[in-house]
Structure 1
């Protein structure tokens, strides 16, 4: 077994009476694109800051490539961090920004210039070294910040919601580019986000955070298709939860079950209900359907037919048995 790039054991962090991180055990493989996904206050950024050394754990350990770095300062760890605020020096050129860290480390001028140009090449910005940050787009500035972090050749790159300030189209473009860059450079990326689409698009694996704990770890497909808890089912995408009498009447089973909206079809047979709302969203239409059994279901249908159901219309819903996932109520550690 290879040594993980990052190993967290019993990690906890309290701020006074508030326990921000409530005990985490996690291993991240070398060369993996790993995302920490969760709402504000779930503990994901605090974990990132403890890996970086900006916060000291209340309990537990942080190891990088098998080395315990829990008590080491940030500059003593082989990691670099890219923040949402890129913090580029406006008076310096792009090339000077990228090579700044090497200059602080007293790397010879010729070497640092060559490494800075190589870093700009790796983020697809060759020839941009002479520009000032103010003359670049948001996506280009984001890549400059990435190059500045990569130029030090860290074993691990930590990214704290670096795409949050970008508009939707640019953010989607940068999601693809970040993943391609990560593959090219082969460095372990740890990406913190509250955006489920970002996590699912880019990650090899995802950890879903809830109230200072990890609710589930898995590939994007595993987390989406087989949520481990009701929280994961509701936070990662949209999910219809059936429980209690509704589950008993519709499924003939006891427990809590999840069915994704895109797995449900409007049909001539199935669970009866009434359309409560119709939401047109371009390529798809979402229907909110109140079932006679007492549950409200979200149905997502691609806009491939001209005849649409309308609010107040009686409909029936159907889905395949394998798309009904039983989920537990307990968190994983």
Structure 2
């Protein structure tokens, strides 16, 4: 597969601040690629460098095999969709979508044809004559997307475009954006701090931290096999076992991650024996949090660490789960579900009977 974007040794300094620090990255043609990270991690600066809104301190930016590091934004075959949409309120939907083509002096008939096709692509056929104030937030977002797509760029850059939408609409637009990207077949580079957005839409995700990529992986790899404590904590909820706690509960030195949904909570007397691939820890439920589809239980373990347990609310009532607060429990998980950070996966621990033998 050919490369749409290649960054080599890319850095951007603002005084003493290294917003981007020696970044190497390749993004394939037709890929939905997300840059995920907290505020100040460098992801938006990288997007602006690719777009040409900022010039790099060091390094090169290659688009479609051409070095564009010194080119201004209008000379790069990319378009950007921003969070605030930047739609002209005095223009109709069609006029907004055609605007870039008018600037390029594309003939009127061609403009109309391409604008209609772009609106069909984003599911807005028939909305040509409406004004922005007559549209919902999701429709305005799609107008901004159509205005970018109508220019047929090789790369579409999206700077947190769903941030202004409410939760339900944002989730609907996540699915629509992915479907649109598959339909048009161009490279999407999506910037977000929302892990759910990144996991839902992306072919690959780069997790940013302090101007560098902490991990680059597919959504499944990123969630199931985080490369560091930062990634484990930023992408989803994680339980961290390290130091003496890891030696006691895992039987191995190092740092390990176990996801809350991989842990089962049971009554102490019903817990299986540790060993033969099973870990068992005892503690007291400090808090129970009902989240609709799931319930999270926060458990203070006797080993001196706090773990979170998550389970689906498949039963008609969760009263029993809510009543576990302040009750002793046992937590059980399989050793195969432990993810080691910076070391080999731990082997099985002998049962008490095997140790005595």
Q: Is the 8 A contact 1:23 1:213 kept in 2?
A: yes
The equivalent position to 1:318 in structure 2, one of 321, 329, 332, is 332
The number of equivalent residue pairs is: 328
2:203 equivalent to 1:204: yes
Alpha-carbon distance in structure 2 between the residues aligned to 1:155 and 1:81: 11
Quote how far apart the aligned CAs of 1:125 are.
Answer: 0.4
Aligned to 1:166: 165
TM-score (normalised: structure 2): 0.91
Alpha-carbon distance in structure 2 between the residues aligned to 1:92 and 1:202: 31
Deviant stretches of 4+, over 2 Å: 304-307
Quote how far apart the aligned CAs of 1:256 are.
Answer: 0.6
Aligned to 1:181: 180
Post-superposition Cα deviations, 1:190-210, rounded to whole Å, max 9, x if no partner, equal 000000000000000000001
Alpha-carbon distance in structure 2 between the residues aligned to 1:215 and 1:165: 27
Q: Is the 8 A contact 1:52 1:81 kept in 2?
A: yes
Q: Is the 8 A contact 1:228 1:327 kept in 2?
A: yes
Aligned to 1:266: 265
Residue 324 of structure 2 aligns to a residue in which SS? coil
Q: Is the 8 A contact 1:230 1:328 kept in 2?
A: no
Quote how far apart the aligned CAs of 1:328 are.
Answer: 2.9
Q: Which moved more, 1:303-312 or 1:129-138?
A: 303-312
Please report the RMSD computed on the Cα atoms of aligned residues, expressed in angstroms: 1.0
Quote how far apart the aligned CAs of 1:311 are.
Answer: 1.4
Aligned to 1:66: 65
Alpha-carbon distance in structure 1 between the residues aligned to 2:23 and 2:111: 38
Alpha-carbon distance in structure 1 between the residues aligned to 2:191 and 2:89: 26
Instruction: List aligned pairs for 1:7-156, cutoff 5 A.
Output: 7-156=6-155
Alpha-carbon distance in structure 1 between the residues aligned to 2:56 and 2:72: 13
Give unmatched runs, 5+ long, in structure 2. Answer: 272-279, 344-357
Residue 126 of structure 1 aligns to a residue in which SS? coil
Quote how far apart the aligned CAs of 1:88 are.
Answer: 0.5
Q: Is the 8 A contact 1:89 1:97 kept in 2?
A: yes
TM-score (normalised: structure 1): 0.97
Post-superposition Cα deviations, 1:10-53, rounded to whole Å, max 9, x if no partner, equal 11000011110111100000000000000000000000000000
